[in-house]
Amino acid sequence: MSRWLWSGCVLLGLQIAVVAQSADPAPSPQPPAQEKADPAAKPMPKQAPSPKAVPKQPKQPAPKTFLLPESKTQPAPETRNPGLTREVVISPKALPVPALRYQLANRFADRIPGNATTTYLRVFASEFWPRQYRDPKFVQKTLEWDTLPLDKFGTPEIREYVAAHRNMIKEMDIAARKERFDWELDQRLEQETFTLLLPDLQQFRELARINQYRVRLAIHDKRYDEALLGLRTGFSMGRQVGSGPTLIHGLVGIAITMVMSQNLDELLAQPDAPNLYWALAELPRPLVDPRSAFQGEFRMVDRYLGDLSLVEGKKLTAAEANQLLNQEMQRFTNNLNVINPASKSEPIMGDMSAPFAQAAYVAVALASSKQFLLEQGISTDQLKDMPASQVVMWATMLQARQIRDDMFKWVMLPYPQAILGIQQAEKKLREMSISTTNIPAVFLRLLLPSLEKVHFAFSRADRRIAQQMIVEAIRHHMTTNGGKLPQSLDEIAELPIPNDPVTGKPFRYALRGDQAILGELDAKDLAFSGVFVYVIRAKK
């Protein structure tokens, strides 16, 4: 898989996470027997129908948004999605006694020794996949189930489907309780970097869909213990998948947890459903930990930047430096072909492996390279007799690491603290990459996805959980408030109200008529596109 496709897969993962928050379908199913199992494969573009075949579309009403009135002191709204709405009708429900009666996360007593990967291998066994449900026509038919309202979900066909997968569901429940999940990809990633194939991720997306149907059917039947078990399995599976060493793992893990959050919304809307405030509070924060994915991405980038120790402070002859430069340029050209296959026929910066190209590059970059090294504290005497090609390589490799670190250091912080720094670092990289003489910037621009968007995707999942905690706090408050929605969240004194993980500030809440709006955005918040706005009404 080229880096071009790898980047496409990261974008696909971001689209999965957004779709999971908008329409909330499970990841699209693919028959395992016919799947090439590469999640990075881009969808084929759809051909536009001929003008005669295009039916006249009725005029659609403008989408409903929930924005605070603009003030004269606020900037004008940007052309962005101001928020996706999730409408829930809730009933009063007190907190459970004992408080931790229900759970959405595995506890110490639930853990099973061993590596979950071996159990998931059992789930992937073809004997567990009923053949009649792998037919592409039937798989396409199941897409209609995603749009069925909950009260119509208990059809005989769906019941038969869930029952036919009972052995898979049993194995999933066991795998989700395993004490560890080791992808055992670290060494492979070290060797293959961005060319490493990830066929198993598609299978996990299919498992998430099966588990989704299992949970929805249980909610429909009011078998809430079974629904909670399925939700616990789904949230755990999402965290397990998201613990992988690439951003693709993390984004697919987020997509799985967002499917579970959609199911959870349906459960919270049931009048007799238990109050899950403390069960939601028990879920890990962050819901899917991005550190492993970012660290794996960091290491893959590092493998492409060359060995700084070969030139840093070394005493090389001109011949040795030129030979090393030739090796590095050959490596750079080969890596560029991996990242962008089109560069073989249309090189981005020409054929940098040619001796005359290397000499020209050194001549152009020498002055700026010397200036850069002097700014780093390297003495003039140390650079005076150093071969020109060594000066350029030293500056290039060192600058590449500085750019990389300036990008990655911010993802170690929570999103609200990181967003400004990431945006500034990405802007700087874009500006630097305009110059084709700045090889590190051009190279890193090709290697790195938008870290801000990826970091944001992880925080959106936590935001959804925080909003659901507030919904449950409101349900509890309604038991002492005559079944009415609170005028403000400050009325709920008996339970802590979480802050918005995306903004780091309290959630906006406004009671308007018979509905409350939770998580609405104002003009300066519109950069956070793709987040949910909950529209809450009390059941009459």
What pLDDT shows up at residue 229?
98
Whether pLDDT at 317 is above 90: yes
| pLDDT recorded at residue 436 | 57
| Dihedrals phi, psi of 521, to nearest 5 degrees | -120, 150
Token representation of residue 62? 């403008």
Give the predicted TM-score (pTM) of the model: 0.81
pLDDT given for residue 527 in this prediction: 56
pLDDT of residue 363: 92
pLDDT band at 40 (very low <50, low <70, confident <90, very high): very low
- What mean pLDDT, rounded, does the chain reach? 82
- What does residue 283 show for φ and ψ, rounded to 5 degrees? -65, 145
Task: Determine the pLDDT at residue 340.
Answer: 64
User: What's the confidence (pLDDT) of residue 256?
Assistant: 97
Q: For residue 487, what pLDDT is reported? A: 96
Where does residue 368 rank: exposed (0-12), middle (13-18), buried (19+ CB within 10 A)?
A: middle
237/207 Cα distance (integer angstroms) = 9
Report the distance separating Cα 172 and Cα 213, nearest Å.
14
Least confident piece of the model among 43-47, 283-287, 354-358, 452-456? 43-47
Residue 246 corresponds to which tokens in the numbers above?
């690439």
Most confident range (mean pLDDT) of 48-57, 220-229, 439-448, 453-462 is 220-229
Question: Measuring CA to CA, which residue among 159, 173, 164 is closest to residue 127?
Answer: 164
Give the model's confidence band at 338: pLDDT under 50 very low, under 70 low, under 90 confident, else very high: low
Q: Which two tokens stand for residue 167?
A: 């052995």
Please give the pLDDT value at position 166.
Answer: 93
Are β-strands 178-180 and 112-115 bridged in parallel, bridged antiparallel, or unpaired? parallel
| Spatial contact of 206 and 228, defined as CB atoms under 8 Å apart | no
Print the SS3 string covering 478-530.
Answer: HCCCCCCCCCCHHHCCCCCCCECCCCCCECCEEEECCEEEECCECHHHCCCCC
Three-class SS of residue 290? coil
Q: What angle do CA 324, 330, 331 make, to 5 degrees?
A: 90
Exposure string (b/e) for 90-129, b if CB count within 10 Å is 16 or more? bbbbebbeeeeebbbbbeeeeeeeebbbebbebbbeeeeb
Q: What is the pLDDT of residue 127?
A: 75
Q: Is the pLDDT confidence value at 89 over 70?
A: yes
Q: Which residue has the higher pLDDT, 93 or 385?
A: 93
Spell out the long-range contacts of 345-348 with Cβ–Cβ below 8 A and sequence spacing 24 or more.
Answer: 348/436, 348/442, 348/446
What is the spatial distance between Cα 398 and Cα 257, in angstroms, rounded to a whole number? 39
Position with higher pLDDT, 134 vs 236? 236
The residue-averaged pLDDT of 345-367 equals 74
Q: Is the pLDDT of residue 285 over 50?
A: yes
Burial of 437 (C-beta count, 10 Å sphere; 0-12/13-18/19+)? middle
Distance of CA 274 to the CA centre of its chain: 30
3-class SS of residue 178: strand
